[in-house]
Structure 1
Amino acid sequence: MTPAENLPYNPFAPVDLGVARHEMLFGNAYPEAFGDWRDEVMSWKTGAYLTAALNPTLTFRLSGPDALRLLSDHSVNGLTRFPVDAARHLIMCNPAGQIVAHGICVREGEESFLTYWLMPWVSYLAESGRYRVTGENLTGRVFLFQVAGPRSLAVLQAATGEDLRDIRFLRRRATRIAGCAVHVLRVGMAGSLAYEVHGPAEAAHAVYRTLLAAGSPLGLRQLGRTQYRMNHTENGFPQGHVHFLYPWFEDADFARYLTARSGGTPFKTDLRGSAGPDPSLRYRTPVEVGWGHVIRLDHDFMGRQALEAELAAPRRLIATLTWNPEDVLDIYRSYLTEGTPHPFMDFRIDMPPLAQPAPHVSDLVLKDGNVVGISSGRVYSYRYRKMISLASLDAGLAVQGTEVVVLWGDPGTRQREIRAVVDRYPLFDEGRNEDVDVSGPEFAPSAGAAPG
């Protein structure tokens, strides 16, 4: 149990003193796990989870007559049809077509947009002077909770006392929880049915407790930060800083912008894995991470020329890799026998909690001794009993059943070639959020649900 005096106040979720280990994120304590991590990772397949692990979410309001033009100029997405209260997963690139930012954008008015995780790139663009826009950094002033899994809608309807079946995928609407005005957005990273609850930071504790109480009879689990990070690989949704890095410091002007706003503190990432110290091997394009279908060539945007050429002849495509269990066991066997062990492999995830600076692990993928791709985001899938990762592979190899080799271990260490096979992508493909029809009576609110 963590001593209470060692835990700073977390404005986004009540601190649970019954949790053995907390992580610090931007000065806030958040549980690494609330209980048995296996129950937590199963929650988005069989029940539902609640997490505040994304707080404080980088939230930026962009408004003004040129707000839509700024987003269109720098997003691969087509934005001609973007109604109020709709959301888009925006992807922004540099001239080489490499991803520099991606996140959710909600249109809250004709000339006003809320962006999540598009900072600092979107704030840099807003301050460039090229657009008639106003930017407002809301980070720390708002909360974002995720409620995900097959029972997530039931949890939210119990907490609000409302029928929320009308909220379509990538749409939001206003409601109330614990007497507080909030918005519910149908989106999530779990792969299954999922929602987000957004509201003012001062209401966060009351809303969190109400969601937890409403979900308790439905088997709601609280999700720790490590388990939250695990779901992206299994569900086929690559993340910046986990599966790829942003080429921010390849742009000299943007690098100066970042450095000035950090007070001169250098940005540090511990580059791990057989990909070595060259950060450029860890950059990705939308095509390489499975987002080529989002690109719309109906407008000019940063990186269009490079991406148009790549769409015509893709170099690499996304794939799930399942690692050979005997080769994985050999890694752990080296820790229990004499001789030089292989580099340590955390069982659950390549991003162990509390590591500072945060490691970014990328490994070379080989075929017949030649480099054919990059693997990252390795996790253990308890659902499928597999060690898996996501890989950007040469296009002709990103086919289910293809056999490759992952070179495990930092250069200069005792590396190990681990056999792997291309599995289905995404590995978790049961009841995807965008496909679930919640209009039926089986999703109707339970009689007598308490109002929010």
Structure 2
Amino acid sequence: MTEELLTPLHAEHVAAGATLTSFAGWRMPLRYGGDLAEHHAVRTAAGLFDLSHMGQIEVTGPDAAAALDRALVSAPSRLADGRARYTVVVDEDGGILDDLIVYRFAADDFLVVANAANRITVLDALTVRSEGLQTSVVDRTPHRALVAVQGPRAAEILQPLVDVDLAGLRYYASAHGRVEGVPVMLARTGYTGEDGFELAVPADGAVTVWRQLLEAGEPAGLVPAGLAARDTLRLEAGMALYGNELTTATTPYEVGLGRVVQLDHDFVGRDALAARAEQPSGVHLVGLAGTGRRAARAGSTVLRDGEAIGTVTSGVLSPTLGHPVAIARVSAPTEVGEVLDVDVRGTSQPMTVVELPFYTRPA
């Protein structure tokens, strides 16, 4: 039995009484108090997340940009310094190996943040696809931590702690600074549908940064939040989860990510995706909204007139909206406002096709 990995903040979670769970080979906090309380704190104030299980892979060297262009469906060489991009890495057949964020700090200095379950897959892909180029691909995950403060009061809480002008930091932009002397890479990114920031820090400085954020945020209503709240938040925001919405059996075009594919550059899987762009499969993701309190779960069958046309990939009773919501992968055309049936644990439940996301933060 493989021993679970522990983040640099593991002792902090234990001391806080967090319920821990196994996730992608890591021991992670599922919740601290209650899922709903943590979810609502992020929507109304702020939540603090330990994301240190996420892969942090450095790609550096004179050919770093060219290597990433070859490896990813978008072209990171076109990014300005200090900017980031959400993108995906696919196999030769166009199937999604992972969705990730690539940050460009300088002409020869990039950071790729990958999902925990796919860290080695992405590391291997980047390594193989950079062969023959002057590029170094190094997994920094064991030596770093990643924390996120998310919510409408995130900037207010974080600003006094960092020597970075947060008001001038745009969405999907990054800057380097310090928190209590600890060097941080600070990015205005997140996975909750709220404003927020993610901070990559050296492992030995993680506890200092975590405690500073908790102390500064407590008067504003910030609470530590676990994986359970993170999942309901991302689902309300219509954000895909690898292993649910995204798999090697789907291409970016089937999951609403055609926008990130740039076919005007050469990359692994380009030919397959170009063919799929010309001949769509018809498979696509839809949002579904129901009534009552019974939520559809991943695996529930979606039916039209008694005929199965798809499967729910994620579903929950939305804490913010107060009714069931779900994302489903379907293989038949659908229209917003159409009512479909979903098999919820043996009972047919009507759900209406709606546009994603289910929740959008107030302007």
Q: TM-score, normalised by structure 1?
A: 0.72
Match of 2:319 in 1: 382
Aligned-partner SS, 2:178: strand
- Deviations 1:226-263, CA, capped at 9 Å, x for gaps: 11122221111101123333x3xxxxxxxxxxxxxxxx
The number of aligned residues is 353
- Structure 2 unaligned blocks of 5 or more: none
In structure 2, C-alpha distance between the alignment counterparts of 1:27 and 1:310, rounded to whole Å: 34
Matched letter for residue 418 of structure 1: Q
Deviation at 1:425, TM superposition (A): 0.8
Match of 1:344 in 2: none
Gap change, CA 1:418 and 1:426, over 3 Å in 2: same
Give 1:417's match in structure 2, choosing from 348, 351, 355. Answer: 348
In structure 2, C-alpha distance between the alignment counterparts of 1:30 and 1:17, rounded to whole Å: 13
Deviation at 1:402, TM superposition (A): 1.3
Deviation at 1:206, TM superposition (A): 0.4
In structure 2, C-alpha distance between the alignment counterparts of 1:324 and 1:305, rounded to whole Å: 43
- Map residues 2-401 of structure 1 onto 2, 5 A cutoff: 11-12=8-9, 14-19=12-17, 21-25=19-23, 29-52=27-50, 54-117=51-114, 119-128=119-128, 130-132=131-133, 133-160=135-162, 163-245=165-247, 247=248, 283-312=249-278, 314=280, 315-325=282-292, 328=294, 361-394=298-331, 396-397=333-334, 399-401=335-337
Matched letter for residue 124 of structure 2: Y
Gap change, CA 1:29 and 1:121, over 3 Å in 2: closer
In structure 2, C-alpha distance between the alignment counterparts of 1:156 and 1:120, rounded to whole Å: 32
Deviation at 1:27, TM superposition (A): 7.2
Aligned-partner SS, 1:15: helix
Gap change, CA 1:408 and 1:96, over 3 Å in 2: farther
- Deviations 1:314-367, CA, capped at 9 Å, x for gaps: 4133221123437x3xxxxxxxxxxxxxxxxxx7x95xxxxxxxxxx4333221
Gap change, CA 1:362 and 1:27, over 3 Å in 2: closer
Gap change, CA 1:113 and 1:150, over 3 Å in 2: same
- Deviations 1:110-133, CA, capped at 9 Å, x for gaps: 222211116323322344373322
**Which has the larger displacement, 38-47 or 311-320?**
311-320
Quick check: which one's strand share is greater? 2
Gap change, CA 1:29 and 1:152, over 3 Å in 2: same
Aligned-partner SS, 2:167: coil
8 Å contact kept, 1:320–1:423: yes
Matched letter for residue 383 of structure 1: T
Matched letter for residue 46 of structure 2: A
8 Å contact kept, 1:93–1:302: yes
In structure 1, C-alpha distance between the alignment counterparts of 2:24 and 2:92, rounded to whole Å: 31
Deviation at 1:9, TM superposition (A): 7.3
- Deviations 1:247-306, CA, capped at 9 Å, x for gaps: 3xxxxxxxxxxxxxxxxxxxxxxxxxxxxxxxxxxx322122221122222212233333
Deviation at 1:396, TM superposition (A): 2.4
8 Å contact kept, 1:12–1:56: no
Gap change, CA 1:64 and 1:289, over 3 Å in 2: same
In structure 2, C-alpha distance between the alignment counterparts of 1:108 and 1:143, rounded to whole Å: 18
8 Å contact kept, 2:76–2:104: no
Deviation at 1:8, TM superposition (A): 10
8 Å contact kept, 1:190–1:232: yes
In structure 1, C-alpha distance between the alignment counterparts of 2:124 and 2:199, rounded to whole Å: 27
8 Å contact kept, 2:70–2:268: yes
How well do the aligned residues superpose, as a CA RMSD in angstroms? 2.6
In structure 2, C-alpha distance between the alignment counterparts of 1:232 and 1:71, rounded to whole Å: 27
In structure 2, C-alpha distance between the alignment counterparts of 1:34 and 1:161, rounded to whole Å: 30
Gap change, CA 1:373 and 1:243, over 3 Å in 2: same
Deviation at 1:217, TM superposition (A): 1.3
Gap change, CA 1:301 and 1:30, over 3 Å in 2: closer
In structure 1, C-alpha distance between the alignment counterparts of 2:272 and 2:292, rounded to whole Å: 39
**Which has the larger displacement, 20-29 or 367-376?**
20-29
8 Å contact kept, 1:56–1:140: no
In structure 2, C-alpha distance between the alignment counterparts of 1:136 and 1:10, rounded to whole Å: 19
In structure 1, C-alpha distance between the alignment counterparts of 2:328 and 2:25, rounded to whole Å: 33
Aligned-partner SS, 1:391: strand
**Which has the larger displacement, 61-70 or 195-204?**
61-70
8 Å contact kept, 1:173–1:185: yes
In structure 2, C-alpha distance between the alignment counterparts of 1:374 and 1:301, rounded to whole Å: 31
Aligned-partner SS, 1:32: strand
Deviation at 1:26, TM superposition (A): 6.8
Alignment identity in percent?
26
Gap change, CA 1:235 and 1:300, over 3 Å in 2: same
Match of 1:259 in 2: none
Give 1:404's match in structure 2, choosing from 340, 344, 362. Answer: 340
